[in-house]
Amino acid sequence: MEQLKFSLEVFDGPLELLLHLISKNKVSIYDIPISLILEQYMEYIEDLKKMDLEVSSAFIEMAAQLMLIKSRMLLPKAETEEEDPRMSLAEALAEYKRYKAVIGALRKDQENAGITYVRRTEQLEFDKKHRLSYESSALTEAYRNVLRKSARALPPPLKSFAGIVGHPVASVPARIIGVLRTLKRQITCSFRSLFKTAKTRSEIVATFLAVLELSKSKHVEMENRNDDLYLTFKK
């Protein structure tokens, strides 16, 4: 296959790169040839590494998502599974394409703003007929009322949400990459050892789901030994 050449500064994120590949291969976002697009996507990642450029986590997570979609498409289609595994990716690409179109229109309006003609401002005469005087105490009370209303309108402090929000949510695709890296180094590892570095419940759940996905797609084999499950990477 002919080596693709990219202008690496062009792509702000993985969705923009995928739209470029889809346009280059002249295919529809609703009928993506996953194997071809994944191969070209990984070539771009390798080009980044060869140039000693940092690969952001967003590109890595998208690579994991593409591999997961490819593995699901290779599996026999279950009778109950009617939705195309590529559909969620296609919807995200369509939404991003609309977003880019809006940004392009706004930038065009901004460029044309310099040649827009507006009506000159008119000087309004001050109405001197209406004259009222206020005591300083009335102005002070009005100022206090404004402060009280502003305080009620302000959002609650961040400490009010402690324990409810603020914890990062672990990504299943990212954990799939992590488990695969571990197995490629060690070939075999215990199920329990995958959770030693987990610091939150979200990371534990994401790791468990990652193992299930890898087992379902037959990328790993599991064997019960010494009261623990051992995972082996399938080449």
Domains located in the chain, CATH noted: 11-73+82-110 (no CATH), 172-233 (1.10.10)
Task: Identify the pLDDT of residue 123.
Answer: 77
Q: How far is CA 222 from CA 41, 64, 190, in A?
A: 30, 21, 9
pLDDT, average across residues 136-155: 67
- The confidence band for 8, taking pLDDT boundaries of 50, 70 and 90, is low
User: Is 80 exceeded by the pLDDT of residue 131?
Assistant: no
- The confidence band for 211, taking pLDDT boundaries of 50, 70 and 90, is confident
Task: Identify the pLDDT of residue 6.
Answer: 44
Q: What angle do CA 22, 87, 54 make, to 5 degrees?
A: 55
Give me the percent of the chain exceeding a pLDDT of 70.
72
Task: Identify the pLDDT of residue 153.
Answer: 58
Task: Identify the pLDDT of residue 221.
Answer: 82
d(C-alpha 147, C-alpha 159), whole Å = 22
Which has more confidence, 81 or 119? 119
Across the chain, mean pLDDT equals: 76
- The confidence band for 1, taking pLDDT boundaries of 50, 70 and 90, is very low
d(C-alpha 215, C-alpha 212), whole Å = 5
